[in-house]
Amino acid sequence: MGDFAVLRYLHEEVGATLGPSVFVGAAYGGCEAMLEWLVGRAFGLEDERMRDRCYLHAGKHGDLCTLVCLRRLGVQWSGEMLMKAVDAGVPLPVLQWMWGQGARFSSAEELQEAARLAATQRDVKRGQPVAEWLLGLQLQGVDDERCGRVPFWRRSARQLIGRGGVQTGVAIGAMLILWRWWGAWLKNACRRSTA
C-alpha cells in the first residue's frame, strides 16, 4: 500500500502525469485499490495491448481477484483475448472463467489452432487439460458467427457419438437425417404450392 500512497501524493500534490504503465503495474501487483482509484480519476487504458497485458498477467498467475476487479471496472479485453490466453499458458480455471465472461474465439479454425497450441505447450500439466477442454468445445460444435454453442440439431452425428456411445450417435444421426430430409421436403412443398 506504500507505493499507492506515494503514487497518489506524486499525482495530487506534485502534479506528476500517469502513463499506461502505472495501470499495468497496478494490475501486475494486484492492487485493487489503485486500479479503482485510477479508473475513478477517469484514467483508462486506451491501448488494447496494454489492457490485454493486464488480463494475461493476472490470468497467468491465477489471480482471479484482479481479473474480477478489471471486469467490474469496465476494462475491456480484445477480441483475441482467449487465443492470447491459451498461447500465454493461462491455466484452465481462468480460461473457463474468461469463457463464462463472454470471451470467444473468432472462428472454428482459431479454436482448432488454440487446441493445437495447448497440446504442444512445454508445461504438460497445464497444457493437457486446456487442450482437452478445447477439444470438448469442438465436439460440442462451434458456430463460426458467434463461436458459441450450436444447437444439437445442427451438429453432425460424428460430433454426438462421443457423448453417449455409438448407439446414441447412430440413433441421433438417423434422427438428424430424417429431420433434414423433412425440412427439405417441406421447403420444396412450399415452393410448389406458391408457384
Condensed to tens digits (0 to 9), the pLDDT of residues 67-122 reads 999 999 888 888 889 999 999 889 999 999 999 898 888 888 888 888 888 888 77
Tally of domains in the chain: 3
- What is the distance between the alpha carbons of residues 12 and 1, in angstroms, rounded to a whole number? 17
State the residue for C-alpha cell 487442450. 131
142 forms beta bridges with: 149
Q: What is the pTM of this model?
A: 0.65
pLDDT digits (tens, 9 = 90+) for 124-177: 677 788 888 888 877 776 544 444 444 444 455 445 444 444 455 555 555 656
- What is the distance between the alpha carbons of residues 44 and 195, in angstroms, rounded to a whole number? 60
17: containing domain: 1-78
At which of 38, 61, 78 does a domain end? 78
56 and 21 inside one domain? yes
59 and 132 inside one domain? no
Copy the grid coordinates of residue 122: 512445454
Considering the domain boundaries, does residue 124 fall inside one?
yes
At which of 55, 78, 101 does a domain end? 78
66 and 107 inside one domain? no
Q: Are 86 and 95 contacting, i.e. CB atoms less than 8 angstroms apart?
A: yes
Considering the domain boundaries, does residue 155 fall inside one?
no
71 and 93 inside one domain? no
Cα 172 vs. chain centroid, distance in angstroms? Answer: 30
Copy the grid coordinates of residue 172: 441421433
44 and 95 inside one domain? no
70 and 83 inside one domain? no
16 and 89 inside one domain? no
